[in-house]
Amino acid sequence: MAHIPDGVLSAPVLIAGAIASAGLLALALRRLDYDHLPAAAALSAAFFVASLISVPVGPSSVHLLLNGLMGLLLGWTALPALFVALVLQAVFFGYGGFAVLGVNTLNMALPALLCALALRPLLRRERPWSGARPVFWIGAAAGGAGVLLTAVMLALSLGLSGQAFIPAAQVLVITYVPLALVEALITGTVLRFLQRVEPDLLPGPRALEVEALP
Amino acid sequence: MAPRRILSHLVPILILPGLALSTPAQAHKLRVFAAAEGPLITGSAYFAGGGAAAGARIRVVDAQNRTLAEPTLDAAGRFSYRAQAAADLLIVAETGDGHRTEWRIPASDLTGSFPATDSGAPEPPATAPTAAAPPTPAPSGLDPLLTTAIEGAVARQLRPLREELQSFQDQARLRDILGGLGYILGLMGLALWWRSRRTAARP
């Protein structure tokens, strides 16, 4: 699934993925938000271990991705966090290959960035927290969108590499739709929890000045 | 914005439950295991730590990258294939969504089981020790039937060992998990140190 091993994708896809994620990574490092670095490290660690708990679904097996949550909480800083965790997963667990690292990073990070772009402004507008609901639903939207967009990216990488596209897409729909629902629930709950316990972690008005999304 | 306070909240929330759940095994990686007993290759496809991969597609590929067969998997993810000749074989498993793995069966695992193809003409077993011995002596001077039987027995004995070795390799160990977490924290520390140096250098 999200960790594509070596030997599946074609060379043009691998090269395009590597260039795109290297470019995005360079951009993200320039905009690195040092105040959120400990949070980024914690989320990166969570992403790193979340892949160990996998559930068989249909013909495949899935685990939580957390990329929606990372995008929402970290913005651009989610990129290096995801990249570091993916490298370590490849080194320590053998998930995904090294040649595929660029594509895998892109498949996870682009959805995270899109979640940040679309939902972080909403979260800021919610700043004088009116109630629990909006925060939960914003989190749920990020969690679900993160997973589904990753599935789309994955289907594209497989399809562009000349794999049979339709069966791949079918497997992805079967396995990723339940995962998206679970992830939406979890991301919403985590966000609601953070709002109660540590609202500073959520992007606030100050973050608006520090960092400007593209 | 108090990074340390944030971290102290986040770390136990996000990491410890994951660690507690994942210490013994659990990994999500498609694996295939196969072993030959005589010409018969049996094996299984599974997700490391996650049960059988019954929906996977298995292909038997030879050295020229030709697909020889596509054995079907039963509900427990097991398959079997009867090899036609002593050649290097590759068992490839795919789930269609990007999971792919392979297992190599070297020709040497199969050679013992094809005395007929090795010596050209099939020889009747009864006459093998006396009449047919001079033209085609076995390398060690042993009866080829006996060699085949020994190789079969050794393969049978080794199989559980091999399975155990593979499942041992599949386990994500606590050492690896802690190593990864340590790396992440170390990188964070490095970045923060770098930043504090730069801000300190500025007047």
Span B82-101, pLDDT tens digits: 888 888 888 888 876 777 88
Question: Is A56 in contact with B47 (Cβ distance < 8 A)?
Answer: yes
For the ranges A184-193, B82-91, B168-177, B191-200, which has the lowest average pLDDT? B168-177
Question: Is A49 in contact with B15 (Cβ distance < 8 A)?
Answer: yes
Note down the domain range covering B151: 27-115+142-172
Q: What is the pLDDT of residues B103-154, one digit of tens each?
A: 888 887 776 556 544 444 444 444 344 444 444 445 567 788 888 888 888 8
Whether B166 and B183 share a structural domain = no
User: d(Cα B163, Cα B122) in Å, to the nearest integer?
Assistant: 34
Whether ipTM exceeds 0.90: no
What pLDDT is stored for residue B173 in this prediction? Answer: 72
Question: Is B18 in contact with A53 (Cβ distance < 8 A)?
Answer: yes
User: d(Cα A97, Cα A95) in Å, to the nearest integer?
Assistant: 7
CATH code for the structural domain at A11-51+62-208:
1.10.1760.20
What pLDDT is stored for residue A205 in this prediction? Answer: 52
Crossing angle between the packed helical segments A67-74 and A101-125, to the nearest 10 degrees: 50
Torsion on CA atoms B124, B126, B129, B133, rounded to nearest 10: -20
Identity of the residue in B11, B97, B184 whose CB atom sits nearest the CB atom of A84: B184
- Kindly tell me if the per-residue pLDDT of A83 is higher than 90: yes
- Kindly tell me if the per-residue pLDDT of A152 is higher than 80: yes
Task: Give me chain B's average pLDDT, please.
Answer: 72
What pLDDT is stored for residue B114 in this prediction? Answer: 61
- For residue A124, how many other CB atoms are within 10 A of its CB? 15
Residue B85 sits in a domain whose CATH number is 2.60.40.10
Identity of the residue in A42, A44, A92 whose CB atom sits nearest the CB atom of B179: A92
Task: Mark which residues 1-60 of A lie under 8 Å from B by CB.
Answer: 1, 3-5, 7-8, 32, 34-46, 48-56, 58-60
Domain ranges for chain A: 11-51+62-208
B28, closest residue in chain A (CA to CA): A54
Q: What is the pLDDT of residues A12-22, one digit of tens each?
A: 888 999 999 99
Whether B87 and B186 share a structural domain = no
pTM exceeding 0.95: no
B190, closest residue in chain A (CA to CA): A37
- Length of chain B equals 203
- The burial of A28, by beta-carbon neighbours within 10 Å (0-12 exposed, 13-18 middle, 19 or more buried), is given as buried
Listed in sequence order, the residues at least 6 apart from A101 whose beta carbon sits closer than 8 Å to its beta carbon are A18, A21, A86, A87, A90
